[in-house]
Amino acid sequence: MDERVTDEDAAALPAWRTAPPTVGAVLVTHDGGRWLPQVLASFSALEHAPSSWRVVDVSSTDDGPDLVREAFGPDRVTYAPAGTGFGAAVRLAVEAMPRTDWLWLLHDDAIVEPGALAALLDEATAADDVAVVGPKIREWPSLRRLLEVGLTVTSTGVRETGLETGEPDAGQHDWAKDVLAVDTAGMLVRRDVWDELDGLSPDLPLYFDDIDLGWRVARAGYRTRIAPRAVIFHAEASRRGVRRRAAGDVEPGEQRRAALHTMLANTSGPRFWWQYVRLLVGSLLRALGLVLSAHPEAAGDQLQAVASVYGRPGRLRAARRRRAATARRDDRAVRHLFAPFWLPYRHGFDTARDVVAALVRPEAVETTGRRSTLDDGGEDDVPLEDGPPLWVRRPWLVTVGALVALSLVAGRSLLAGAGDSILTGGALGVTPGSAGDWWRLWFERSHEIGLGGTGLVSPAVLLLAVASTPVWPSPGLVVAVLLLLAVPLAALTAHRLGRRLTDHRRLRIVWAVGYGLTVAASGAVAQGRLGTVVALVVLPVVVVTTLQVAGVDPLSQRASWRTAVRWGVWVAVGAAFAPVVLPLALLGALVVAALDPRLVRRLLLGLGVALLLLGPWIVGRVLHPGLWWWESGSLLAGGEPGWRTALGLVVGRAGAPEQAPVWLGVGLVVLAVAALASRATRAAVVVCWTLALLGLGVAVLGVVLPGGVPGTSVDVRAWVGVPAGAVALALGTAALVGVPPLVEGRGRAWVGATVLVALLLPVGTAAWWVVRGVDDPLERGRPDTVPAFLTDRGADTVVVTGTTARGLEVEVVRGEGPLIGAEGLRPPESSRRALVDAVERLVSAPGAQAVSSLSDLGVDAVYAPDVDTAVARALDAAPGLEPSGSESPTSRVWTLAEPTQPARPEAPAWRPFLAAGQVLLWLVAVVLTAPVRRRPSADDAPPLDVAPGGGRRVRTDGVRS
């Protein structure tokens, strides 16, 4: 049915011209005075004018009625009361005007091209079964973007145009074709069919009336065609919310109700029941998603729509009866007119892409994506012609893309592996098999760890569970993204902070990239320190929210309790992965409070929220300050003491063997010190330096104090990667704020030297990062905490390390080891003591009793990965321990001849409820503090700047809004 419109077609004289059919034009206006001058002007330029005109004004309060009276005369204007829907208005007009062959429906915010009606009639008279014809609709005021070339609807009830957002009209859709429906703006409909189908449905006063009519037309055996040579320009005032609302207007939530009503009233056969359930569940899920994504109004609309449609089955039944009366074909016969089944999923993908695009929005205002009525396009008249290269127009977008590409290169050895391989090694725990394992870990009363445990897990588990739920069977994706894309992620958050600090676009890009690279340069990624990575990504956001709390964020709304709660949420996110974020944030808050004591109450509120979200888990950390340093992950010692570690602290390194050379950060220090010389920005620079000193103080504290874990006599050097990263962030910020005023106005040599010093960190570190990669000890494979055959047994294995001379360390591992997030869980103290006692007896005077003690603890095997000969011999001599195969020459395995399965400790029954309560708290906190998106209002609408006809530009600055 598709026919290409050619010049020859256009040149041929259609038959109708000899005996033109009569056309009655119906213009419905409602507070459209803003657009009517141009709309009415376009009517007067029509090459083929309608036979008769009728205007229905629906309770306009602007100058619209005057304009139409002036244009058509008072006798051609009908006045409808407030609340009259579009269909009802048209019905009033049809009743008041002489009968014509065709009806042409017009909006007060749509300009018609001079040849529009003629082109519509060309298509309308081409075949006897054509009942409805619609024009090609372009955007007003851009005039070049396509809005619609026919309509259809997806199975989820979303109006679908099949066009890309912002797609310019270059004739690519100029095919006359059958479609399900056309917009009522410019719709030409056969009068007899109109009468047969009883016009637009009175149940659909504003939205989806066109889809509904087209659907009924199709089922009645007629066709709806698109006439691409007929062009109108539509401002879509109601959909965009730019039409001033008045009493009696259709509520915004009506759109979703109309969608549900249309879908359920028109779907026939058994498919109806499927749609009935699907749309109900889908709408509820959508409402939940909207709540979570801080669209409370839209969520309310969803629920209201569901209540309206599903709560009034009688109205739905009546509507279905009416449609059945006129239907001559079943749904299957018109199925080809509907959107393909996969389109909703494509929209989901587009949404995800939009989220990513939003992250880089600071430097890239335009968005892309498939156009649907869910899109809220702006009214900016963005030029479509080719401009400068992309890296000039959107340097940040290009930078992020480059960082992502470099991240993949740096992580080359970690991208692929055997089927069941995961990222493992270093401090990284075991990635669970599915997101469900993290949810289970969060809610369970007895943890699946060696010897069993009932401890509280970090809220990091909850956050990981939430993040991995969309990729349920592959939670490793979340871990891989966080670790492998750590640099671009940190750069993104730093850049958000940078926007608040300076207007120098390129400077802040260099600064953000430098900070992002600090994460990799610290060695945190290579060591699998997920906690550090997440904390360093979150740190700039904490600073941003601190600025918001202080009311000094130039890009944010006024400070309120909401910003304080938001600060608490982000502090909690960081502290959940790295508890040391909490004291760091506290110190930062103290500085802010010292600068403005009025903020104390607000900061206390934020702190309270953070503690509430972190829950009772944080109490354990508070009681044992040594645990402040233990982040999400296995306890891996920090850097060796000495100059290398100490000097690295000021440039974001913490002494990891895998860190970048410290000298790469010299430029950062030089610039930060130089920034102090700037008088203009001294106050801000001093604040940055104060924060850096506080961070450095925390880091130094970690280095000089012996670290340790309660319940063990083992001291572990603290890992101070997070405070070191905070120092680098603060010093970098000092340089960002303080250096530009210093070099402004100076010679090129100064600027050049400064640029060179500034680029040393990002360029040098990037080169080091890409060459070294981010593996080792991080690798892709399966965890090798215990040999694979022991893992398969799924039982508890005692892992013995150390030597006789220096002492032995023992731990009990279940399966492959603790899940990510469960590394901090410990078995009950009594079990640990019993274990130590049993192993001590086993290696001193091996006897049946010692083995039996192990068995009583539920231990199934003993594994010594790098065994001391004396220990191995002692264990060999133990009755009841059977030597088993090992995976390396230096390792030994013994299995217990008679393992037992003792009862595991269980937390109180209220523990899952506590976990659920915390989930609820997080939910409430996030929903309350997320930036709320509201519907655009007429007050937000920019003035029109239109150029209908391709050349005439009309300024309408004086239009009342």
Partner 1 sequence: MRRSGLVALLPALAALLVLLAALVGTSDEQAAAPRAVPVQETRYACAGGPGLVTGQVAAGRSASAEVSPGGDEVADVVDPGRWVRSDLARALGRGDRSLLVTQRGEGSGGVGFVTGVLGAARGDGLVVGRCPGVVDDAWYAGLGSAQRHLGVLVLTNLSETPAVLDVTLWSPEGQVDAVGGEGLVVEAGSTRTLQLSDLAAGEDVLGVHVARRRGAVAVAALDTSTGTAQGSELVSPMASPERRVVLAGLVGRGTRTLTVLNPGETTARARVEVLGPDGPFAPEGLDEVRVRPGSVTRVDLPASVGTGPAALRVVSDVPVVASATVASDGDLSVLEDVGAWTGGALVPVGGAVGEPDLLLTAPGDAGRTVVLEGRGPDLARRDRAEVSVPAGSTVRVDLSRVLDLDGVSSVLVRSEGGVVGTAHYTADGRQASLALQAAPVDVLTPRVRPAP
Kindly identify the residues of this chain, within the stretch 859-888, that bind partner 1 according to CB under 8 A: 868, 870-871, 873, 876-883
CB of 304 to partner 1, least distance (A): 56
CB of 793 to partner 1, least distance (A): 18
Q: Is 817 left (phi over 0), alpha (psi -120 to 50) or beta?
A: left
Q: Is 189 left (phi over 0), alpha (psi -120 to 50) or beta?
A: beta
Query: Do 373 and 234 touch, CB atoms closer than 8 A?
Result: no
Residue placing its CB nearer to partner 1 in the complex, 60 or 785: 785
Residue placing its CB nearer to partner 1 in the complex, 108 or 823: 823
Number of residues that bind partner 1 (CB under 8 A): 76
CB of 650 to partner 1, least distance (A): 6
Q: Is residue 283 a contact residue for partner 1 (CB under 8 A)?
A: no
Query: Do 26 and 93 touch, CB atoms closer than 8 A?
Result: yes
CB contact set of 713 (below 8 Å; sequence gap of 6+): none
Q: Which residue's entry shows tokens 């359920």? A: 264
Q: Please identify which residue in 597, 713, 951, 958 interacts with partner 1, judged by CB under 8 A.
A: 713
Q: Is residue 690 a contact residue for partner 1 (CB under 8 A)?
A: yes
In this structure, is the dihedral angle defined by the CA atoms of residues 742, 747, 750 and 753, taken in order, positive or negative?
positive
Q: Is residue 41 a contact residue for partner 1 (CB under 8 A)?
A: no
CB of 668 to partner 1, least distance (A): 12
Q: Please identify which residue in 540, 652, 708, 818 interacts with partner 1, judged by CB under 8 A.
A: 708
Q: Is residue 728 a contact residue for partner 1 (CB under 8 A)?
A: no
Q: In whole angstroms, what is the distance from residue 704 CA to residue 902 CA? A: 42
Question: 497-509 burial, b for 16+ CB within 10 Å, e for fewer?
Answer: bbbbbeeeeebbb
| CA distances, 88 to each of 58, 75, 204, 672, 886 (Å) | 10, 19, 9, 70, 83
Find the helix or strand (DSSP H, E) in which 40 lies: helix 36-44
CB of 639 to partner 1, least distance (A): 9
Residue placing its CB nearer to partner 1 in the complex, 341 or 643: 643
Q: Is residue 716 a contact residue for partner 1 (CB under 8 A)?
A: yes
> What percentage of the chain's residues is helix, strand, coil (to nearest 5)?
50, 15, 35
Q: Please identify which residue in 847, 905, 912, 936 interacts with partner 1, judged by CB under 8 A.
A: 847
Residue placing its CB nearer to partner 1 in the complex, 616 or 710: 710
Q: Please identify which residue in 356, 714, 756, 924 interacts with partner 1, judged by CB under 8 A.
A: 714
Q: Please identify which residue in 707, 725, 732, 773 interacts with partner 1, judged by CB under 8 A.
A: 707
Q: Which two tokens stand for residue 756?
A: 């060179």
Residue placing its CB nearer to partner 1 in the complex, 174 or 868: 868
Query: Do 730 and 689 touch, CB atoms closer than 8 A?
Result: yes
| CA distances, 660 to each of 324, 492, 644 (Å) | 73, 21, 11
Residue placing its CB nearer to partner 1 in the complex, 45 or 836: 836
CB of 829 to partner 1, least distance (A): 10
> What residues between 494 and 553 interact with partner 1 by CB under 8 A?
none
Binding window for partner 1 (CB under 8 A); candidates: 296-304, 414-422, 608-616, 808-816: 808-816
Q: Please identify which residue in 68, 118, 525, 649 interacts with partner 1, judged by CB under 8 A.
A: 649
Residue 528: CB atoms within 10 A of its CB come to: 27
Q: Is residue 269 a contact residue for partner 1 (CB under 8 A)?
A: no
CB of 619 to partner 1, least distance (A): 20
Binding window for partner 1 (CB under 8 A); candidates: 236-244, 761-769, 803-811, 910-918: 803-811
Residues paired with residue 893 on neighbouring β-strands, in sequence order: 863, 884
Find the helix or strand (DSSP H, E) in which 799 lies: strand 796-803
> What residues between 219 and 238 interact with partner 1 by CB under 8 A?
none
CB of 621 to partner 1, least distance (A): 15
Beta strand 796-803 with 223-234 is: unpaired
Cα separation of the two ends of the chain: 44
CB of 647 to partner 1, least distance (A): 6
Q: Please identify which residue in 712, 852, 891, 956 interacts with partner 1, judged by CB under 8 A.
A: 712
CB of 635 to partner 1, least distance (A): 5
Q: Is residue 703 a contact residue for partner 1 (CB under 8 A)?
A: yes
Q: Please identify which residue in 471, 481, 709, 927 interacts with partner 1, judged by CB under 8 A.
A: 709
Residue placing its CB nearer to partner 1 in the complex, 844 or 888: 844
> What residues between 746 and 785 interact with partner 1 by CB under 8 A?
none
For 746, which DSSP code?
S
Query: Do 240 and 377 touch, CB atoms closer than 8 A?
Result: yes
**Binding-residue pattern over the window 372 to 411 for partner 1, x denoting contact by CB under 8 A:** ----------------------------------------
CB of 654 to partner 1, least distance (A): 10
Query: Do 148 and 136 touch, CB atoms closer than 8 A?
Result: yes
Residue placing its CB nearer to partner 1 in the complex, 78 or 645: 645
Q: Is residue 814 a contact residue for partner 1 (CB under 8 A)?
A: no
For 425, which DSSP code?
B
Find the helix or strand (DSSP H, E) in which 35 lies: none
Q: Please identify which residue in 221, 802, 828, 905 interacts with partner 1, judged by CB under 8 A.
A: 802
CB contact set of 585 (below 8 Å; sequence gap of 6+): 542, 546, 567, 571, 574, 575, 610
Q: Which two tokens stand for residue 570?
A: 């982000």
Q: Is residue 700 a contact residue for partner 1 (CB under 8 A)?
A: yes
Residue placing its CB nearer to partner 1 in the complex, 470 or 807: 807
> What residues between 609 and 648 interact with partner 1 by CB under 8 A?
635, 637, 640-643, 645-647
CB of 438 to partner 1, least distance (A): 24
CB of 860 to partner 1, least distance (A): 16
Q: Is residue 843 a contact residue for partner 1 (CB under 8 A)?
A: yes
CB of 672 to partner 1, least distance (A): 8
Residue placing its CB nearer to partner 1 in the complex, 384 or 897: 897
> What residues between 890 and 929 interact with partner 1 by CB under 8 A?
897
Is the peptide bond prior to 762 cis by the omega test (within 30 degrees of 0)?
no
What crossing angle do the helices spanning 395-410 and 748-772 adopt, rounded to 10°? 30
Residue placing its CB nearer to partner 1 in the complex, 232 or 654: 654
> What residues between 299 and 328 interact with partner 1 by CB under 8 A?
none
CB contact set of 580 (below 8 Å; sequence gap of 6+): 535, 628, 629, 631, 698, 702, 720, 722, 723
> What residues between 818 and 837 interact with partner 1 by CB under 8 A?
832, 835-836
Binding window for partner 1 (CB under 8 A); candidates: 203-211, 390-398, 552-560, 690-698: 690-698
Q: Please identify which residue in 686, 763, 770, 921 interacts with partner 1, judged by CB under 8 A.
A: 686
CB of 560 to partner 1, least distance (A): 33
Q: Which two tokens stand for residue 307?
A: 């209540």
Q: Is residue 696 a contact residue for partner 1 (CB under 8 A)?
A: yes
User: Distance from CA of residue 880 to its chain's centroid?
Assistant: 56
Question: 724-763 burial, b for 16+ CB within 10 Å, e for fewer?
Answer: bbbbbbbbbbbbbbbbbbbbeeeeeeeeeebeebbebbbb
CB of 590 to partner 1, least distance (A): 17
Q: Is 198 left (phi over 0), alpha (psi -120 to 50) or beta?
A: left
Residue placing its CB nearer to partner 1 in the complex, 298 or 810: 810
Find the helix or strand (DSSP H, E) in which 623 lies: helix 617-623
Q: What are phi and psi of 77, to 5 degrees?
A: -115, 130
Q: Please identify which residue in 10, 845, 916, 924 interacts with partner 1, judged by CB under 8 A.
A: 845
